[in-house]
Homo-oligomer: A and B are copies of this chain.
Amino acid sequence: MRPVSIHTGAWRYPGAWPDANFNFRHLVRLAQTLERGRFDAFFMADHLAVLNMPIDALKRSHTVTSFEPFTLLSALAPCTERIGLVATASTTFDEPYHIARRFASLDHISGGRAGWNIVTTSNPDAALNFGLEEHREHGDRYRRAREFYDVVTGLWDSFADDAFVRDAESGLYFDPARMHVLNHKGPYLSVRGPLNIARPVQGWPVIVQAGASEPGRQLAAETAEVVFAAGGNIDAARAFYADVKGRMDRLGRDRDHLKILPGVLVTVGDTMAEAQEKRALLDSRVHYDSGIASLSVMLGTDASRFDPDAPLPDDIPETNESKSGRERAIALGREGNLTVRQLAQKVGGYGGGQITGTPANIADTMQEWLETEACDGFNVMFPFLPAGLDDFVTKVVPELQRRGIFRREYEGTTLREHLGLPRPANRFFPAG
């Protein structure tokens, strides 16, 4: 994740690295620790602007300086051997030719470990960094994303897997009959091709999606192989799971070809009391200004104008930013019967899914989710670094392994193999 500890109080936790998010040596250690824990992948989120919050909250945020994901993940590639490397890239503010090349390069350099988290970018300030006066409309962003996916995957298929013969004797470098020129012309994009790089090791890097709105779910059902779900309670997770997998059934896609991984912030203690104390200490490190700003981002409207000691008003306006974020914040306030101040404090640290407890408690919860169609796995986040991650790898992972619900060794070498996903056929050269 970016920041590598998503909780806004993480950098102030006693003993934590305040610069965990922006220190390459720390990040190498993190990736290597995750690999020792046999994680599928290291995920690097991405944002194309500083957080859209007032400066009094922004100045407290450890996300303001971050590495760009391709530079970071490429640098981590030679420092690791097996772990997948998943980066976010925006379909709203980038070009398919660039995105296709970068993921193909990362996939080749890492030996087949790349994954692309497709986002449409909800932060409206990103638009201002890319020549626009206003953010693109939500539905429009998703329509462009769908076409963008077709173009990128089409570019990845520019060459058959066996196109590069490199016959020094005859002087033939590649077989021209095994190259395809895309010639795409659509409502949003026009891209000729071919891509100037061989087909990725995995055929296509793994496609990840994290949108949760109606068009976000539909995009996931049509294209994604992994979904980062928002987390939350188990009933909501089951409903989301059934919804997305049901969409796949209707599209004729195999349900097993998409893995739903809710985000979960895991705080480990040797006793429940210890875990809860850690979490309470972490939450106490969030400043109120940060809390109200986070709430504003989630709602897509300025929350500082509401009475802090009353519940959220009923008439929160619709938003062009994250529709699912707005709904989640309203639901959290309603469920807990919270005042604006309490809700701000809650979402100010981290408002998504979480498990706090002993290794056995955590494994129990994970097992329940896995075995009752609430999810296919988890996008695990750590409360502070490095201790929060070390606790997970040394205490929770062995417990999951003992129960036989997590690998002891990597069986394959590519991210697709870790996830049990098939390698896609080349649409222009079906035989390889």
Contact assessment for A97 and B48 in the assembled complex, using a CB-CB cutoff below 8 Å? yes
User: Copy number of this protein in the oligomer?
Assistant: 2
CA–CA, A47 and B19, complex, Å: 36
Contact assessment for B74 and A72 in the assembled complex, using a CB-CB cutoff below 8 Å? yes
| A65: chain B residues within 8 A (beta carbon) | 159, 164, 174, 196-198
CA–CA, A47 and B194, complex, Å: 13
Contacts A50-B196, A171-B287 supplied; 7 other A-B pairs, CB < 8 Å: A18-B166, A24-B78, A64-B196, A68-B70, A128-B192, A129-B191, A131-B191
A301 lies within 8 A of chain B by Cβ: no
Output the least CB separation between A170 and chain B (Å): 9
Contact assessment for A109 and B197 in the assembled complex, using a CB-CB cutoff below 8 Å? no
Residues 391-428 of chain A, each 1 if its beta carbon lies under 8 Å from chain B, else 0? 00000000000000000000000000000000000000
| A95: chain B residues within 8 A (beta carbon) | 93-94, 130-131
Contact assessment for B172 and A60 in the assembled complex, using a CB-CB cutoff below 8 Å? yes
Task: Given A62-B173, A78-B78, A174-B59, answer yes or no on A68-B129 (Cβ-Cβ < 8 Å).
Answer: no
Segment of A99-107, A134-142, A271-279, A359-367 engaged in the interface with chain B: A99-107
| A56: chain B residues within 8 A (beta carbon) | 176
Output the least CB separation between A349 and chain B (Å): 13
6 residue pairs A–B, Cβ–Cβ below 8 Å: A11-B173, A24-B108, A50-B196, A68-B105, A70-B70, A171-B287
**A79, A93, A130, A196 interface centre (most CB from chain B within 10 Å):** A196
Q: Which B residue's beta carbon lies closest to that of A14?
A: B168
Top 8 A-B pairs ranked by shortest CB distance? A71-B105, A74-B74, A128-B192, A68-B105, A18-B166, A71-B74, A65-B198, A74-B75
Task: Given A68-B101, A130-B97, A176-B55, answer yes or no on A109-B75 (Cβ-Cβ < 8 Å).
Answer: yes
Output the least CB separation between A399 and chain B (Å): 31
Contact assessment for B196 and A59 in the assembled complex, using a CB-CB cutoff below 8 Å? no
Contact assessment for B66 and A197 in the assembled complex, using a CB-CB cutoff below 8 Å? yes
CB contact between A12 and one of B67, B68, B171, B191 (< 8 Å): that residue:
B171
A61 lies within 8 A of chain B by Cβ: yes
Q: Which B residue's beta carbon lies closest to that of A77?
A: B75
A370 lies within 8 A of chain B by Cβ: no
**A68, A95, A125, A174 interface centre (most CB from chain B within 10 Å):** A68
Output the least CB separation between A108 and chain B (Å): 7
| Residues of A that sit less than 8 Å from B by CB | 11-12, 18-19, 22, 24, 28, 47-50, 55-56, 58-68, 70-72, 74-75, 77-79, 93-95, 97-98, 101-102, 104-106, 108-109, 125, 128-131, 159, 164, 166, 168, 171-176, 189-194, 196-198, 285, 287
Output the least CB separation between A164 and chain B (Å): 6
CA–CA, A22 and B192, complex, Å: 23
Contact assessment for B98 and A59 in the assembled complex, using a CB-CB cutoff below 8 Å? no
Task: Given A74-B72, A109-B24, A175-B59, answer yes or no on A97-B197 (Cβ-Cβ < 8 Å).
Answer: no
Task: Given A74-B72, A130-B95, answer yes or no on A67-B109 (Cβ-Cβ < 8 Å).
Answer: yes
CA–CA, A106 and B74, complex, Å: 10
CA–CA, A2 and B30, complex, Å: 33
| A106: chain B residues within 8 A (beta carbon) | 71
CA–CA, A287 and B169, complex, Å: 12
| A28: chain B residues within 8 A (beta carbon) | 78
CA–CA, A179 and B212, complex, Å: 34
CA–CA, A285 and B190, complex, Å: 37
| A108: chain B residues within 8 A (beta carbon) | 22, 24, 67
CA–CA, A49 and B191, complex, Å: 11
CA–CA, A325 and B360, complex, Å: 69
| A168: chain B residues within 8 A (beta carbon) | 11-12, 18
Contact assessment for A109 and B166 in the assembled complex, using a CB-CB cutoff below 8 Å? no
CA–CA, A68 and B197, complex, Å: 8
Contact assessment for A50 and B194 in the assembled complex, using a CB-CB cutoff below 8 Å? yes
CA–CA, A215 and B101, complex, Å: 30
CA–CA, A77 and B197, complex, Å: 21
Output the least CB separation between A262 and chain B (Å): 26
| A287: chain B residues within 8 A (beta carbon) | 171
